[in-house]
Structure 1
Amino acid sequence: MKIIRSRKNAALMTSCIIFGFILGKWSENITNSPVVRQQIDINSNQLCACQCNGNEMKEQDLQAKPEGFVAKNDNGVNKGNDVILGKRFRKPRKFFIDCGGNVASSVVLFKETYPDAADFYIHSFELDDRLCPYFAPFKNHTLHCPVAVSNVTGEITAYAEAAWFPGKSVGGEDKQWGGGSIFVSKNESVRKDGGERMLSYRKKVPAVDLSSWLREHVTQEDYLILKLDVEGAEYGILRKMLTEGTIQLVDKLYGEYHSDQPTGADDKEKSQIKADLKVKKQSMLRWIGERKTYHDFEFLHPTKVLESRYAPNAANVVISKCGMTSRDRNQVAIVIEVGMNKKPAIWLIETIRAYKKKFPCTIFVYGDFATQYPQLVRDWSIDFDIGVRGSSPQLEHIWENLNYYYTRMSIIGGAMRLSEIGMEPVFILPQRQSNHTVRIAQKHGYWVVDPNASFPPRKGTQFTEENYFKYRDVERVPRALRSISDALLRDQGGIISLDADLFDSYMISVFLLDYLFENSQFQLVGLKDCYD
């Protein structure tokens, strides 16, 4: 990740000042509200650093379009996948421009759930320098911080939220939303505590004319998604983009209108901007990064019909028990739950793979595990079915209490990571069941696996030091096997899950298979055959 920060450099300052005088329109005013106005300082050292240091696009930033993408020129004529730039050819690029980056919530949501997100290069603009660390983990990303996007270029005062303290209240609510605005009310501008939004942290920052920036860095052939959540500055920015025609560079517009905050535009102008966008066949789709959702999420991840062939006799989307075979023997399916620990997972899975008899088995992995070890998961898929657990592990009591949107992001994001390495899972096995899990699975075409014979047990008597862990290996094995056997006998079969993170799953694996094949009346089947 590249970070563009403010630095003093005399030579760069001189070149920027000269360039600023050439474009006299940079000296326009920003209207912060009907009361508060700010004058742009075109001679700012910070402006010089922002404009002159590092905004150039490098060759490695060029991102290819998805196969079949049709590029467009100024006349809407198909140029094909290759675009002529001077005397060379390149693939069209894909950009996600994140204006109002805040705590990188939009970057996380985009990377986790947006189709082909890995093909996009991301630029984030955030005016609050205290939030810069949130963007440090991300690759294929440039952070412009502290930088405010506007309809003019220069230096401006950013009004940001005060640091949290016990008893703090914003607008009468207990919250810490982070970031700030360049548009404030008279009350917020004069009060030391920052008024109703507590915007008491104030700092001069560079302001960038977004319309000009897009014209400089994006071409008509590129695919551009613009997210605009800038606390009132959106109206001036959109008016400038409409006037200069740079709105035509935008393929999809996300964001939020802040009509109840100071914006520098009256109601008539706000309505006219929306009407003019409609004429240009544009509308601002709702993007709410802090809630982990956006307007067309369900459209981009459409509802799928549950494939009944995987469980033709299942009463609902949740599968926990296997039916009876024609020979009146109960059926048992074995699944393996892989965490984020590669070593114990390999121990367990390779031991089962080496067993003297072959049998169907499903391995459930997190999306993050598949991203970190793609070749390992592909290797497992040769002999085993692969299902998804979610994006990444959570504490079990946390998972079952997550809201709908976080749960959806984890399930869809995890499935997308498997899809990226060539697998389309039909089964999910979350850490815990919840109403949200079932609802999301049913809507998006996944069967939820809820093992009735989990190891270690999640239902009934739990393992403790006193009843299990204080014993030696040779004494724990029969206790573990009895726990699994009791659950199968009680339910006349079912689904056994082995948690790869627990060493004892590896330790009991061969003994368990010997019991099932040699001394039980159960028939081992795959999840896809569990209800045949």
Structure 2
Amino acid sequence: WITLKRNINNIKYLPSMVDISFKNRYVYVDVGARSYGSSIGSWFRKQYPKQNKTFHVYAIEADKHFHKQYELKKKTVTLLPYAAWVRNESLSFEINRDPGQEEVNELKDKGRGMGRIQPVKSRQGEFTGEVDEIQGFDFAEWLKNTVTERDFVVMKMDVEGTEFDLIPRLFETGAICLIDEIFLECHYNRWQRCCPGQRSTKYEKNYGQCLKLFTSLRKSGVLVHQWW
């Protein structure tokens, strides 16, 4: 996020390069939205060029800790209080707060650990963080039932590693063709600040696999940016 803010003026957004006025509707889908101010209010509302068009905003956020504040925004934001997934099923939603972080309040997400999902049946071992059982939904099918190729669709995806499940599913179903511009954070086993020489065990993928994911999107004609 710090890197993004430093380079915010250098980003080439699609509406800053082409005319989008011929589109039927204008839609922004925030997958892994967290709080309203996390990216919808602080970035999309303020920074994304809209060519004077009104965008309908969908916030997909499974963490119930952030749901209450969206009640204040329900006229402009549609909250989907579920987890974007590859099928409709119950999931384990795990939140691991870093040591020393304070509990989040209702309107701020500072200190709130990031949530990860996995099927209930596959969850193994003990987990020291917060665990809830939530409902996952087939994101690709939802997208196909919500927008059409005549709409202009922007998506931000920050889903703590689940992008390696969701992106292939979008290709498999053809739903990827409905998205005009993507802002994607890819999660990998990066070096840890706390422990020099050690990589995080939170994610299984490596940076090379993230590059392949971005490359596959761009080779398919999808305008994708790296999100931080």
Matched, 1:285 2:207: no
Gaps of 5+ in 1: 1-66, 72-91, 170-174, 194-199, 289-532
Change (3 A) 1:272 1:219: same
Q: Which residue of 1 aligns with 2:165?
A: 236
Q: Which residue of 2 aligns with 1:106?
A: 39
Matched, 1:160 2:95: yes
Q: Which has the higher contact order (CA 8 A, sep 6+)?
A: 2
Question: In 2, are the aligned partners of 1:235 and 1:263 still within 8 Å (CA)?
Answer: no
**Residue correspondence of structure 1 range 5-404 to structure 2 within 5 A:** 69-71=21-23, 92-104=24-36, 105-108=38-41, 109-116=43-50, 119-138=54-73, 139-145=75-81, 147-162=82-97, 167-168=100-101, 176-182=111-117, 190-193=125-128, 200-260=129-189, 270=210, 272-288=212-228
1:88-121 Cα distance to aligned partner (Å, 9 max, x none): xxxx111100001111211102122322376000
Measured in 1, the distance between the counterparts of 2:22 and 2:134 equals 39
Measured in 2, the distance between the counterparts of 1:132 and 1:244 equals 29
Change (3 A) 1:279 1:205: same
Change (3 A) 1:264 1:123: farther
Change (3 A) 1:270 1:235: same
Identity %: 22
Measured in 2, the distance between the counterparts of 1:121 and 1:127 equals 20
Query: Shift of the alpha carbon at 1:241?
Result: 0.8
The root-mean-square deviation of aligned C-alpha atoms, in Å, is 3.2
TM-score by length of 1: 0.32
Change (3 A) 1:285 1:183: farther
Question: In 2, are the aligned partners of 1:102 and 1:178 still within 8 Å (CA)?
Answer: no
Question: In 1, are the aligned partners of 2:89 and 2:137 still within 8 Å (CA)?
Answer: yes
Query: Shift of the alpha carbon at 1:152?
Result: 2.1
Q: Which residue of 1 aligns with 2:16?
A: none
**Residue correspondence of structure 1 range 418-433 to structure 2 within 5 A:** none
Question: In 1, are the aligned partners of 2:35 and 2:69 still within 8 Å (CA)?
Answer: yes
Question: In 2, are the aligned partners of 1:156 and 1:205 still within 8 Å (CA)?
Answer: yes
Give secondary structure in 2 for the equivalent of 1:137: helix
Structure 1 stretches of 4+ with a deviation exceeding 4 A read 261-272
Q: Which residue of 1 aligns with 2:4?
A: none
Query: Shift of the alpha carbon at 1:122?
Result: 0.6
Query: Shift of the alpha carbon at 1:216?
Result: 0.9
Q: Which residue of 2 aligns with 1:26?
A: none
Report the structure, 1 or 2, having the larger helix content.
Answer: 1
Query: Shift of the alpha carbon at 1:266?
Result: 7.5
Question: In 2, are the aligned partners of 1:242 and 1:277 still within 8 Å (CA)?
Answer: no
**Residue correspondence of structure 1 range 437-452 to structure 2 within 5 A:** none
In the alignment of these two chains, the number of paired residues is 186
Gaps of 5+ in 2: 1-18, 103-109, 190-200
Measured in 2, the distance between the counterparts of 1:286 and 1:255 equals 5
Query: Shift of the alpha carbon at 1:242?
Result: 1.4
TM-score by length of 2: 0.70
Measured in 2, the distance between the counterparts of 1:168 and 1:111 equals 28
Measured in 1, the distance between the counterparts of 2:90 and 2:135 equals 4
Query: Shift of the alpha carbon at 1:280?
Result: 1.2
Measured in 1, the distance between the counterparts of 2:169 and 2:208 equals 16
Measured in 1, the distance between the counterparts of 2:40 and 2:207 equals 31
Question: In 2, are the aligned partners of 1:225 and 1:250 still within 8 Å (CA)?
Answer: yes
Change (3 A) 1:283 1:262: farther
